Amino acid sequence: MIAALLCAGLAFYLPAGPHSEMFLEIPAGTRSAQIAGLLKSRGLIRSTFAFDVMRLIKGGTLKAGEYRFDHPARISEVYARLERGDVYTRTLTIPEGANIFDIAQRVEAARLGSKEAFLDAVKRDVNLISDMDPAAQSVEGYLFPDTYHFRRLATPDQLIAGMVKRFRQEAADLGLTQNFHNVVTMASLVERETPIGSERPMVASVFSNRMSKGMALMTDPSVIYADLLEGKYRGTIYHSDLDGDSPYNTYKHIGLPPGPICNPGVDSLKAAMAPAQTQYFYFVAASPDPSSHSRFARTLEEHQQNVQAYRRAQRAAGQR
């Protein structure tokens, strides 16, 4: 008995565990005695008895999840980590305006899966948004831009489910409860045309005004997206791209493209829901403009003047 108590006492103070990275998954519903057994079997604690004593002393609830261990630690440190739920996750940041191809690259860079697996899932998981957008061909537009913390072994479907859940939360906060397809598609165009939040309602007004007159939207980002879908984007738009037959070519097809071209943030969603009331039908987008702002016009003549001013600004900035 004395020997057992001595061993337990040593187990409290002597560190145990690996000298290199290892992971331990504690499934939901695992009892404390089973957790002690898992820790002991992986060499993370020296004594299940000592762990049970620690539980009697500390109490609290031990959290399920995957834990990362990379150095020997005392049993008190191991217990504290399980009690506070210090589970291992990988961070994935989705910026406003990222499309599914951008996100797929970020997923792979965060070591959360391959680009190919993610791009397969964005089409497979359309059922997640079928109530909002029954005609959607992918979840593009509904992967809300945010910083996420996912389990190391999360599947592409779980990643997407988490992003769609965030979209639903934001949509509810904005009062977006219907007409999701048109609002999100419009918001995605606005998002890609200007990085300036204050300009987004005006950009949305240009698109709304053009649609009301039956004019083509003629927005370059949708043409770029068409090329991305076909795997032929070359880093810039060529004249042949403007002649393409893709339904995303808003130079040839009237109205909105078939769906969102990126995943818009709150400001762009707000702009699409409530465009500014203007008489503008044209604009030179802020994104490529050295002046860092968009140039809006009511007439084609004014627009041509803005284009010339934009080109002068490019030359002054040493651009082509």
Do 41 and 67 lie in a common domain?
yes
User: Domain containing 167 — which CATH number?
Assistant: 3.30.1490
Do 95 and 146 lie in a common domain?
yes
Is residue 121 one of the residues assigned to a domain? yes
C-alpha 244/C-alpha 60 separation (Å) is 63
CA-derived radius of gyration, the chain: 27
Is residue 179 one of the residues assigned to a domain? no
Do 167 and 129 lie in a common domain?
yes
Q: How many domains does the structure of the chain reveal?
A: 3
> What sign has the CA pseudo-torsion 117, 118, 123, 129?
positive
Predicted local confidence at residue 291, as pLDDT:
59
Is residue 230 one of the residues assigned to a domain? yes
Is residue 253 one of the residues assigned to a domain? yes
At 88-115, the pLDDT tens digits run: 999 999 999 999 999 999 999 999 999 9
Predicted local confidence at residue 285, as pLDDT:
80
C-alpha 79/C-alpha 45 separation (Å) is 10
Do 312 and 211 lie in a common domain?
yes
User: Domain containing 75 — which CATH number?
Assistant: 3.30.1490.480
- Which positions of the chain have pLDDT values less than 70? 1-11, 286-292, 317-320
pTM of the model: 0.86
Residue-range definition of the domain harbouring residue 64:
2-87
Q: 78-105: string of b/e by CB count within 10 Å (b at 16+)?
A: bbebbbeeebbeeebebebbbbbbebbe
Q: Do 313 and 289 meet the contact criterion of CB atoms below 8 Å apart?
A: yes
Is residue 31 one of the residues assigned to a domain? yes
At 256-309, the pLDDT tens digits run: 999 999 999 999 999 999 999 999 999 988 665 555 688 899 999 888 888 888
Do 206 and 309 lie in a common domain?
yes
Predicted local confidence at residue 8, as pLDDT:
57
Do 37 and 124 lie in a common domain?
no
Predicted local confidence at residue 3, as pLDDT:
53
Is residue 138 one of the residues assigned to a domain? yes
Do 83 and 97 lie in a common domain?
no
Q: Which of 68, 87, 106 is the last residue of a domain?
A: 87
**Block residue for tokens 């964005």:** 122
Do 165 and 208 lie in a common domain?
no
Do 239 and 285 lie in a common domain?
yes
Predicted local confidence at residue 6, as pLDDT:
54
Q: Which SS3 state, helix, strand or coil, does residue 315 take? A: helix
Q: Do 141 and 264 meet the contact criterion of CB atoms below 8 Å apart?
A: yes
Q: Which of 87, 102, 128 is the last residue of a domain?
A: 87
C-alpha 143/C-alpha 75 separation (Å) is 41
Do 159 and 65 lie in a common domain?
no
Is residue 191 one of the residues assigned to a domain? no
Q: Which of 51, 72, 87 is the last residue of a domain?
A: 87
Predicted local confidence at residue 236, as pLDDT:
83
